[in-house]
Amino acid sequence: MAVIKEGTAAHINGQRIDVAPGETLLQAALRQGIAFPNRCRVGACGTCKCRLAEGQVRALTPPGYLLDDDQIKRGYILACQSVPRSDISIEVALGAPAATSATGKIAAPAPEAPREPAGFWDYAKYFGFHLVGLSATVALLAGGGWITAGLLAIVSFYILGDAVSGNDLRTPRYGRPALLTGHLWLALPLVSLISFAAVWGVSAGDPLGFGAWLTSWTGYDVIAAREATTLGHHVSAVILTGLMIGMIGTITAHELMHRTWDKVSLLIGRWLMAFSLDTSFTIEHVYGHHRYVSTTVDPATAPRGRSVYAHIAISTVKSNASAWHIECGRLRRQGLPVWSVHNAVLRGWAMSAVVLALAWAVGGAVGLAFFAACGLMGKALLEVVNYMEHYGIVRDPAAAVQPRHSWNTNRRISSWTLFNLSRHSHHHAQGDVPYQDLKPMADAPMMIGGYLTVMVLTLLPPLWHALMTPRLLAWDRDFADPGERTLAREANAASGIAALVRAANQSSRGQLEASSVSR
Ligand code: FES
């Protein structure tokens, strides 16, 4: 069969559908009403596996993450990661459990409401993170008390802004998505600038003559300000830089690493993760977390009763081990050596080493240690976010991921400046949807507040558990299916939190009484 351009025809068990340019086989099938089996949509679960009987496809992710050599030789592909390059013919068992749409509490398909076209402010609202990043850079360079003031101002902006600005429930139709991708790419120069400013702030000399140039350009003596910066304000600089690496670096990287159809986005996402010394996240998050979210095998899902501090340590160790395990499995399935350039974990470590080497070049040993502390701070922040997004939720690994398996929020400032990461319920239910198209899922389980607000609450475990325990019990009552109620009862019994243990005991007693009555 002659190879023609992308955007062609696919025959699924003999039924013809059109595939638009750049569209995956799964997207085309679902768009045309075919109940194609799917679950994660990010190449992590294997539910959309099918056999390519004729034609050619372009694989967006290495098939070895899920398919072994024999399956690949027999023509198996993942529909969610395959873009047809010619007319194709597919064999698949249709009608298997599918998550063809996502609503708050249930998996039933919802009719798509017509979306109004996006206006100027719909685009502009997503550029706020650049202003936050530039503000942090100015604070770091201004030195002394300005650093601490900048940190407090940014945290206050998020907490107070989310408290007073309400929810953003709009999902307009964006006609120029490239604009919204380009501004994500700007995160890389922005995080580089913030990191340079932070490391310059502890360097002994004036690397690149940056301080002299800035002083002559602005009239503000940044070198004198740096000399006057005390230890306490340097600690603020670590927190502020770590916050920026987490918010501007990691959150943007998270959005980019899901874009398997765009190699530039994937590469920029990996470099952004190098700043928090955590490029393994790009493997574990997509092929591990999205597959196992809200189950006991997911390192990023915190069980009931765990504190955020324990979670940072446990999730860091387990997610790195999981990434290594996933990558080694892929290499083995593809017959490639583990200790080689083919290993994405090793390549990621090399990227982090380059970033650390640059920090050393700018700030010497002190700069290197300072930047490492900032990067680890950014990594810890990621684990705090994982903690609050899925804390205590349960799911049977065999069941499809639904919006109820994430804590969601539609607070306005968080949504705008964190690229709708806050619309986490829809993100996990349909991992291939770009951030601007995520739905608010107003009837999904809701977080206590906006992202920064909840982050601060997690740092106070007694208060966190006091606030979250009623929400978990409400989740068990309002969202869990019968199987999940059993899992939730077990999680409550093991939580070590008195109210949850009591609820587990009451539930067990209720079941016993019900079964003795029925006998
Ligand atoms: S691998 Fe395609 S839906 Fe999960």
The answer to whether 247 and 132 have CB atoms below 8 angstroms apart is yes
Q: Are strands 82-84 and 15-18 parallel, antiparallel or unpaired?
A: unpaired
What is residue 173's DSSP assignment?
A: B
Nearest-atom number in ligand 1 for the CA of 79 is: 2
Q: What is the pLDDT of residue 7?
A: 66
338 Cβ contact list (under 8 Å, min separation 6) = 328, 331, 332
Q: What is the pLDDT of residue 112?
A: 63
Which domains are present in the chain?
9-91 (3.10.20.30), 123-427 (no CATH)
**Which pairs count as long-range contacts for 148-156, CB under 8 Å and 24+ apart, including other chains?**
148/232, 148/233, 148/236, 150/240, 151/236, 151/239, 151/240, 151/243, 154/240, 154/243, 155/243, 155/452, 155/456
Q: What is the pLDDT of residue 435?
A: 95
Cα(51) to centroid(ligand 1), Å:
14
Q: What is the pLDDT of residue 98?
A: 44
Mutate to test the pocket of ligand 1, among 67, 71, 80, 401 (most ligand atoms within 8 A of CB): 80
| pTM metric for this prediction | 0.91
Condensed to tens digits (0 to 9), the pLDDT of residues 27-42 reads 999 999 999 998 888 8
141 Cβ contact list (under 8 Å, min separation 6) = 197, 200, 201, 214, 222, 225
Q: What is the pLDDT of residue 99?
A: 44
Question: For the residues 18-24, what does the mean pLDDT come to?
Answer: 92
Nearest-atom number in ligand 1 for the CA of 291 is: 4
Chain mean pLDDT for the chain: 92
Ramachandran assignment for 143, one of left (phi > 0), alpha (psi -120 to 50 degrees), beta (any other): left
Question: For the residues 247-264, what does the mean pLDDT come to?
Answer: 94
- Secondary structure (3-state) at 90: strand
Distance CA 39, CA 80 (A): 9
Count Cβ atoms below 10 Å from residue 433 Cβ, excluding itself.
17
Which amino acid is present at 6? Answer: E
- Give 22's pLDDT tier (boundaries 50, 70, 90): confident
109 has a pLDDT exceeding 70 = no
Residue whose tokens read 């593809």: 334
Percent of the chain at pLDDT > 90 equals 83
Distance CA 153, CA 412 (A): 18
Nearest-atom number in ligand 1 for the CA of 80 is: 2
Cβ < 6 Å from ligand 1: which residues? 38-41, 43-48, 78, 80
Cα(446) to centroid(ligand 1), Å:
26
Percent of the chain at pLDDT > 70 equals 94
- Give 101's pLDDT tier (boundaries 50, 70, 90): very low
Question: For the residues 387-401, what does the mean pLDDT come to?
Answer: 94
Question: For the residues 363-384, what does the mean pLDDT come to?
Answer: 98
Cα(92) to centroid(ligand 1), Å:
13
325 has a pLDDT exceeding 70 = yes
- Give 425's pLDDT tier (boundaries 50, 70, 90): very high
Per the model's pLDDT, the better-predicted residue between 12 and 104 turns out to be: 12
Cα(79) to centroid(ligand 1), Å:
7
Cα(431) to centroid(ligand 1), Å:
10
Tokens found for residue 334: 């593809």
Condensed to tens digits (0 to 9), the pLDDT of residues 330-344 reads 999 888 999 999 999
- Give 512's pLDDT tier (boundaries 50, 70, 90): low
Distance CA 197, CA 468 (A): 38
Q: Which of 190, 205, 77 is nearest to 127 (CA)?
A: 190
Condensed to tens digits (0 to 9), the pLDDT of residues 167-186 reads 999 999 999 999 999 999 99
57 Cβ contact list (under 8 Å, min separation 6) = 25, 77, 82, 83, 84, 85, 88
Q: Are strands 88-91 and 9-12 parallel, antiparallel or unpaired?
A: parallel
**What's the full length of the chain, in residues?**
519
Condensed to tens digits (0 to 9), the pLDDT of residues 41-98 reads 888 888 899 999 999 999 998 888 888 888 888 999 999 999 999 999 999 988 644 4
- Give 508's pLDDT tier (boundaries 50, 70, 90): confident
**Ligand 1 atom 1 nearest Cα:** 43
The answer to whether 427 and 433 have CB atoms below 8 angstroms apart is yes
507 has a pLDDT exceeding 90 = no
230 has a pLDDT exceeding 90 = yes
Q: What 3 state SS string does 103-164 have?
A: CCCCCCCCCCCCCCECCHHHHHHHHHHHHHHHHHHHHHHHCCHHHHHHHHHHHHHHHHHHHH
